[in-house]
Structure 1
């Protein structure tokens, strides 16, 4: 039975070896080839077609997804399927990003004459500068590693990590060169939680119009409780005669007045409400409003306009339903 100390040491060895492989990668990112590859992709008016077999294919899939989500149109084409019809997706404006640690993937090499006949630039990502793929490409990005983390030297480990990081380096360099913003990112992720955090505004989440809990400052607490119960947000905005916000009354305020044995029918809501309540505008991101609630340790917010008049309300449950949390 292998003891826990040995298992942990083996795990640490892998991290050490792969960290060393990434340190070794600096020299290849610092090379002229990396900048050339970036310029070629930036000038490309079509798509980046990523290819790779086996483990390189899995990494290629991730690289194509990262490129596509950060402003560089890209998708993965399996080299084996490409030779049986999928090569038809290529257009004259595309560029090829071919991945193979050995640089000798036969499925990709078989396609290269056809790709070159179409006049498409090929960027090869390999661990062997002298390989056929490297020689047949217009640009070669080296991802050679000192050693694999696999003690047998067989399973792709350090090499796949280096390839993935090289792909990330390309994608992020291109992102910055394009001036890609958070808003651009959100538009390519509308269905995910990232998109919701970057796209949803308070106006998209808040309760408004007839759903907004709102009472006048001169009514009694009992009438205010009726409004709270009716709207179901656990709070109500309190306004003056000009419909400007003067306070908020919440479930917490109710517990406080009950403990003080206040007469709910005779006491005005203005004497029991919390003044100087935290507010937000409707044009900020819902994620920003959530941050305000978390920092202030509150469960709800009143939304006001430029005239300090309440136009909406929202609470933590609304954030959960909207997928902001």
Structure 2
């Protein structure tokens, strides 16, 4: 009898667990931003030593942070990090080249030091991708327990007890110390659509439900976001944000995909569009043009690195040569990067 009751108890718990877990993890936004968790992005930023290091970690498959697919080709987009500076105020823009002619800003990290030398750090999601006023910042106070699902407003909200967080001292973050040090040199990413760093390959994106589950734990220790629960975070430097907002890049392809509900049916189901990303693009960055014949159209594999069908004469390091490709950048030289490759 006791054995029977034990089995019955286990079965009952198994039926009760799914809704409990779903409450703990909260709701998805139902927007493209579900595929780039800004809590995870800000965590990665705080672990980085330089902006170039942050860009690399953001795009490597091993970190599992980038699951963004704005052009719906079933592959992760390369996210470059563009820096804008005005005195002690920095804007680190997360930007995707959706096609050869279109660029979309995804989010912006705002780093600011006021007249009292107090440093603040926030990340703001693009309104089209995350909804209005999606702002996340490190939690201003230590937290012993949190309401696991801010979107759940029923009579019995689920609360989980987690180890108390340590209040983040922004001034001690390695990348923050670097950009405010005399050794800081601005980083200008030389990459564009079809031309990426050697470490990047367009890996297949995962289902948004799995991605959301993998990264929800990052929410603990941060303040803001609005998974259905409103946002109480105020942007610290409105002038800095307005300067970014007035010059942000928008893609017609992304807008059309949004209006036609294509992101809803992307990696949330099996109804995926065919890949439109070319295997390679023509670049005039090299000193001489390649005369090697093309092997035909090559669709990108789901994983691994596809061997190049052309020889690139672009140097592997040093300063990047000017490109005739339209750019949203204000110019400047590229630091490091180790060269790149065409796809």
* Bigger CA radius of gyration: 1
| TM-score of the alignment, normalized to the shorter chain, above 0.5 | no
Q: TM-score range by the shorter chain?
A: under 0.3
| TM-score, length of structure 2 as denominator length | 0.22
TM-score, normalization: structure 1?
0.23
Larger RCO (alpha carbons 8 Å, 6+ apart): 2
